[in-house]
Chain A
C-alpha cells in the first residue's frame, strides 16, 4: 500500500513539475493516434457509405470482413504490418519499421474497420423513407450522401470516439512495429509497460494518469459536440 501511495505522490510531482520526457511521450501518442484516426475517418466514412448505399456481388463478404476487422487483435495487426515493413518484406524498401509512421499505419488498420463498420451500420439503419425524401428534395448522389451523414452525425461521433479509444490505448501493435524505443517511438502505452517492468511505478502511474486523462478529455469534447444536437 505504501508503494502505491508513494508512487502516486511521485507521479503527481512529475506531472506538475513538467517532466519533459513524460510530455514528449504523451505528445507522440497524441500525434500518432490523432493522425491514424484522421486517416481512418477520411477513408472509413466514404467506404462505409459506399458499402451501405450500394449493392454489388460479394457485398455480404465485405461487410463480414469489416465486422471482423472491428475486433482484430492489435498484436495480429502489428504482426501483419511488421511482416510488410520488415527489411525483406514487400514494403521493406521504405525503411518504415520501428518508426512513428509504422505505428500510424498499424493504428489506421485498427481504427479503419471501426469507423467503417459503425458508419455503415448507422447509414443502413437510416429510414428508407428519409433517404427517398432526400432524393425527392432534389439531391444528387453526392449531396444525398452528405445529407445522410448529417442525419447520422451522432453515430459518426460515437464511431470516432470508439476508434480513438481503440488506438490510444492499444499496446500490442505499437510495440511490435514501433519498437518502444525511448525518445523515438515510445508512446504512452509502451512506456507504461516498460516503466512497470523496470519497477519505476511512479513513472508508470504518471503516464497512466496522462493516458486516462487524454482518453477522458477527448471523449468529453466529442460527447459535448454530440449532445449539442439534443438541445432544442
Chain B
C-alpha cells in the first residue's frame, strides 16, 4: 500500500460504464476512478462482474459509457489499443508464450516497437525485480506455478505501465507462494507511481493489498471506499456476510446522551452500538469481536460496554479456531475462540457464559433491507 490518498486527476476514470453481452447487462459502474500510486481492489463473489469490469477498463472488452484515460476519452478500437499499450495486465493463469522466459518478458516491449537490445535489458531488470532472473533461459513448461506467475508479472512490469491490471493473480497459487508474492508486490507498488487495479474474491487478500476497495455483487457496485472503512462498515447484509459477519440483529437505533447510541432489539433487550442515525436498523457483529468470559468482566474491561449473560448452544470447529454459539435472552451470537481458550474457560454446551462486545463492534449497516425488502436508508 502506498499511502492511498488520491493526488490530482485520476489516471483512469469510468462514468456510467456498462458491459452488455447477448442483451444482458453483465456489469454497470456509475463512477470509478483510479489514481497513481494506489491499489484499488475490485472485490466480490464469483460472477459479480469483477473480471468483466477489469476487461472493460483495460480496453479488452467493448463497453458503453465513458472511459477516460490520461484525460482523453477512449472510444475507438485504436483508443483501446493505445490504452492497452500504456497499461499491462496479469490474469489468474500466467498465460506465458511458448518461448523462453526472457522472450516472454521482452514480448510486451517488442510489441511496442522497442529495439532488441533495450527490450533485453529492461526484461532482465524486470525479471530480477521479481526474483526470477535466473530462469531467463527456461521454457514456461519447466516453471512452477509461482515462478510462472512471477514471470507473467515481470512481463507486465517490464513495459512500465501507467496502470497495472491484476485479475485474481494469486488464485491458482498455494498459500506460502501467495504470501511471498504479495510481499514482493507490495514492496514494488510502494516504490512505484503506477495505479494498480486488483481483482479478487478473497477478502483477506483484498484487505492485505488494497488502499481502496470497491465491492461488487451481481454486476453492481455495492460499496466503495478506503479499505479499512469498507471492511469495518459494510453497507449491506450480503456484503457483511461476504466479510464473514454472521450475527445480524434487527432493532431501532436511539441516540442517547453523549456518545451512547443504543439499539433497542425486537425482543426488548438493548445493546450499545456504533453511531448511526435514529430509526430502524440492522447491526452486524463479527464473531471475532465477541469476547467470552465465565463471569462478568471487572473494571479493566470497562470498554466492553455490552456484557450479556447466556448459555452455550453449540461448539463447532471453524478453521484453526472454534466457533461458539451463545444464546442471550432470545438472540444468538457467534464467537470465535482458540482451543486453548475453550479449555481455560471450561465451556461446554448448555453451560453458562458471559459474552462481551464493544459498542464500536456493533455495527449498524448503512443500507439494509427492511421487512418489505427495499433499502430504507442511504449513506
Contact = CB atoms under 8 A, between A and B. Distances in A.
Interface string B144-179: 000000000001000100000100000000000000
Contacts of A132: 55, 60, 91, 95
A130 B95 CA distance: 5
B313 interface: no
A151 B95 CA distance: 11
Interface stretch (A33-41, A102-110, A138-146, A190-198): A138-146
Given A138-B84, A138-B111, A229 B93 contact: no
Nearest to A140: B81
A83 B142 CA distance: 55
B334 interface: no
A136 B60 contact: yes
A138 B91 contact: no
A147 interface: yes
A132 B51 CA distance: 12
A135 interface: yes
B159 A136 contact: no
Contacts of A135: 60, 84
Contacts of A150: 97-99
A127 interface: yes
A229 B98 contact: yes
B237 interface: no
Contacts of B310: none
Nearest to A139: B111
A17 interface: no
B74 interface: no
Interface string A127-167: 10110111111111001000100110000000000000000
Given A130-B95, A150-B97, A151-B98, A136 B142 contact: no
B202 to A, nearest CB: 20
Interface in B108-143: 108, 111-112, 138-139, 141-142
A3 interface: no
Give the bracket for the number of chain A residues in contact with chain B. Answer: 10 to 19
A214 B58 CA distance: 51
B88 interface: yes
A155 to B, nearest CB: 11
Nearest to B84: A138
Contacts of A147: 97, 107
A136 B93 contact: no
Interface in B52-100: 55, 58, 60, 81, 84-85, 88-89, 91, 93, 95, 97-99
B57 to A, nearest CB: 12
B98 A136 contact: no
Contacts of A129: 91, 93, 95
Nearest to B112: A138
A71 interface: no
A130 B107 CA distance: 13
Given A129-B93, A151-B98, 10 more contacts: A127-B93, A133-B95, A136-B84, A136-B91, A137-B107, A137-B108, A137-B155, A138-B112, A150-B99, A232-B141
